[in-house]
């Protein structure tokens, strides 16, 4: 009886330790941060993009050019604690990614394909959802992503702002 109880306790302990891994979303990678995601209006986000366009471009290239250990398609960098994806990048690249998240504070950056990257923000101050998209080859998946928004505007070559009212 004592052996059976010890075995059950051991199995329960292992299960408790494995539970977080079972519920972890596939492909979500955490970036260490010092604050919370920031909400922007479409106008603020557009201004921020033009003020920091070189930074947006650099982060896009780092993430899209990285092989991420052969992981094709979607790969999310979510705004929360942890540094799992650090192993996929050179130290200098990881520092730039971490600094970008600390400075710009998107909710997440999502690599949809090797040519499409989305900068997703934590909802807009005016009640909508405003996000930036980079289409490295110009048009891949443009129709799909533009269909999610009531307004999808090219703000610079290869860069689009998607605006969606929550009531839309």
The whole-number average pLDDT for the span 74-95 is 70
Q: Cα(91)–Cα(41) distance, rounded to whole angstroms? A: 33
Percent of the chain with pLDDT over 70: 62
Dump pLDDT digits (tens) for 119-147: 988 776 666 778 999 998 877 678 888 88
Return the pLDDT at 60. 93
Q: Count of residues for the chain?
A: 168
CA distance 87 to 66: 11
The domain locations on the chain are: 26-165
Q: Convert the pLDDT of each residue in 48-76 to its tens digit.
A: 999 999 999 999 999 888 876 566 566 66
Rounded to the nearest angstrom, the gap between the alpha carbon of residue 124 and the centroid of all alpha carbons in its chain is 16
- 146: helix, coil or strand? helix
Over the Cα atoms of the chain, what is R_g?
19
pLDDT of residue 161: 93
Residue 89: pLDDT over 90: no
**Beta strand 128-135 pairing with 159-165:** antiparallel
- Give the C-alpha separation, 59 to 120, whole Å: 14
- Share the mean pLDDT of the chain: 74
pLDDT in tens, 17-43: 443 443 333 344 444 445 677 888 888
Q: pLDDT value at position 53?
A: 96
Q: Which residues on adjacent β-strands are paired with residue 131?
A: 120, 162
pLDDT of residue 154: 93
- Picking from 151, 159, 156, 140, the residue whose alpha carbon sits closest to that of residue 41 is 151
């Amino acid at each position: 009886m004592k052996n059976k109880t010890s075995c059950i306790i051991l199995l329960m302990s292992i299960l408790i330790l494995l539970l977080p891994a079972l519920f972890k979303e596939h492909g979500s990678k955490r970036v260490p941060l010092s604050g919370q995601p920031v909400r922007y209006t479409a106008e603020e986000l557009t201004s921020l993009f033009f003020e920091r366009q070189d930074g947006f471009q650099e982060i896009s290239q780092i993430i899209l050019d990285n092989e991420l250990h052969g992981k094709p398609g979607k790969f999310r960098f979510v705004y929360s604690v942890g540094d799992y994806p650090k192993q996929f990048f050179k130290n200098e690249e990881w520092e730039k990614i971490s600094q970008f998240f600390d400075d710009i504070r998107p909710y997440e950056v999502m690599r949809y394909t090797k040519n499409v990257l989305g900068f997703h923000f934590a909802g807009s101050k005016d009640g909508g959802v405003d996000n930036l998209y980079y289409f490295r080859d110009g048009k891949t998946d443009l129709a799909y992503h533009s269909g999610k928004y009531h307004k999808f505007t090219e703000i610079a070559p290869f860069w689009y702002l998607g605006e969606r009212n929550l009531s839309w």
